[in-house]
């Protein structure tokens, strides 16, 4: 076994699943996976999740007549500051997000944004799921004070948290899925102001929706994390990260995340 085979990192495995590797690198990873069956099985699970998410969100996939021209003009887009990209670029980013659910935006993402260190972005999104699960475990079991601002003050809650995140926050309505808003609270996410919204169904089951801002992010990605019965569906869309967490069946959590994404899609970062 060569030294190269001994240096395969988790980031490289994610890049392999997401289709970010050159042909020689892909062949190197595949050879390494043949010698590491446990890691190979985990990679197969990631690939299955990516395929399932892509299929689950396929109904929202759409394109615009100007998308191809925008993608082809990648040199000009890279020279444009993210803040000046405008609604058209955000619309393309949203479409790409759905087409590659469960993966980074592959060959198109580098054309739309300036390249960044992939190790940093992987750390950011994985950290988001860990923070979301920690917040859920701390607050979902709280009886008297699970939130700072209750559902009876929805307008104030949205304005307050949105101002702290510098984000035009709209509170998702999950009533069609049987969950009503309990309220929300300010919570640290990646060392900065974040928001946590809590929902509850008629049986008392709770879900949390976490939002955090990372101005350095240029990644678009969907992922699922599971730990000790707690499921988290999380994604990053430009500067805002989202995570839906609960002790519920994965298919229900995906429906909740789908509904949150649909409603957040019309909300843009400031």
pLDDT in tens, 206-223: 999 999 987 776 666 678
Q: In whole angstroms, what is the distance from residue 39 CA to residue 60 CA?
A: 32
Judged by average pLDDT, the poorest of 3-7, 42-46, 161-165, 247-251 is 3-7
CA 23 to chain centroid, in Å, comes to: 27
**123 and 250 belong to one structural domain:** yes
Contact (CB, 8 A) for 189 and 154: no
Q: Average pLDDT, whole number, for the chain?
A: 75
Domain-located, residue 269: no
**126 and 99 belong to one structural domain:** no
Among 86, 113, 140, the domain boundary falls at 113
Q: Tell me what pLDDT residue 46 has.
A: 75
Judged by average pLDDT, the poorest of 21-30, 124-133, 181-190 is 124-133
| Torsion sign across C-alpha atoms 188, 109, 106, 121 | negative
Q: Which domain holds residue 9?
A: 1-113
Domain-located, residue 36: yes
**257 and 124 belong to one structural domain:** yes
**108 and 174 belong to one structural domain:** no
Among residues 50, 188, 219, which one has the least CA distance to residue 120? 219
Domain-located, residue 234: yes
Judged by average pLDDT, the poorest of 13-27, 48-62, 121-135 is 48-62
**133 and 109 belong to one structural domain:** no
Q: In whole angstroms, what is the distance from residue 170 CA to residue 162 CA?
A: 8
- Whether 246 shows a pLDDT value over 70: the answer reads yes
Q: Tell me what pLDDT residue 194 has.
A: 94
Mean pLDDT computed over 235-258: 91
Q: In whole angstroms, what is the distance from residue 258 CA to residue 53 CA?
A: 10
- Whether 42 shows a pLDDT value over 90: the answer reads no
Among 76, 91, 113, the domain boundary falls at 113
Q: Tell me what pLDDT residue 106 has.
A: 35
Q: Tell me what pLDDT residue 15 has.
A: 79
> Is the model more confident about 53 or about 150?
150
Mean pLDDT computed over 163-186: 95
**127 and 73 belong to one structural domain:** no
Q: Which residues contact 14 (CB under 8 A, 6 or more apart)?
A: 46, 122
C-alpha distances in angstroms, 49 versus 109, 133, 226, 240, 262?
Answer: 20, 19, 12, 22, 20
**52: confidence class by pLDDT, cuts 50, 70, 90:** low
- Burial of residue 234, with CB atoms counted within 10 A of its CB: 0-12 exposed, 13-18 middle, 19 or more buried: buried
Half-sphere exposure of 146 (CA within 13 A, CB side): 20
Q: In whole angstroms, what is the distance from residue 126 CA to residue 10 CA?
A: 11
Among 113, 145, 164, the domain boundary falls at 113
Number of domains in the chain: 2
- Whether 116 shows a pLDDT value over 50: the answer reads no
Domain-located, residue 270: no
pTM, two decimal places: 0.57
Domain-located, residue 59: yes
């Amino acid at each position: 076994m060569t030294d190269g085979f001994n240096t395969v990192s988790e980031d490289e495995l994610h890049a392999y699943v997401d289709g970010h590797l050159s042909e020689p690198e892909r062949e190197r990873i595949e050879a390494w996976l043949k010698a590491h069956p446990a890691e190979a099985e985990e990679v197969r699970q990631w690939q299955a999740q990516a395929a399932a998410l892509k299929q689950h969100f396929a109904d929202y996939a759409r394109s615009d007549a100007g998308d191809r021209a925008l993608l082809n003009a990648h040199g000009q887009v890279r020279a444009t500051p993210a803040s000046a990209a405008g609604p058209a670029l955000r619309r393309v980013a949203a479409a790409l997000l759905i087409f590659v659910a469960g993966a980074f935006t592959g060959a198109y993402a580098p054309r739309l944004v300036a390249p960044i260190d992939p190790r940093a972005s992987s750390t950011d999104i994985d950290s988001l799921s860990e923070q979301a699960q920690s917040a859920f475990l701390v607050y979902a079991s709280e009886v008297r004070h699970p939130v700072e601002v209750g559902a009876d003050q929805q307008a104030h809650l949205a304005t307050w948290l949105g101002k702290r995140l510098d984000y035009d926050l709209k509170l998702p309505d999950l009533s069609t899925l049987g969950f009503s808003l309990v309220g929300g609270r300010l919570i640290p996410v990646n060392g900065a102001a974040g928001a946590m919204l809590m929902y509850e169904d008629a049986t008392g089951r709770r879900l949390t929706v976490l939002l955090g801002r990372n101005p350095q992010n240029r990644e678009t990605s969907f992922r699922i994390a599971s730990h000790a019965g707690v499921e988290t569906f999380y994604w990053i869309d430009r500067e805002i990260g989202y995570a839906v967490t609960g002790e519920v069946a994965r298919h229900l959590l995906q429906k909740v995340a789908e509904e949150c994404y649909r409603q957040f899609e019309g909300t843009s970062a400031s």
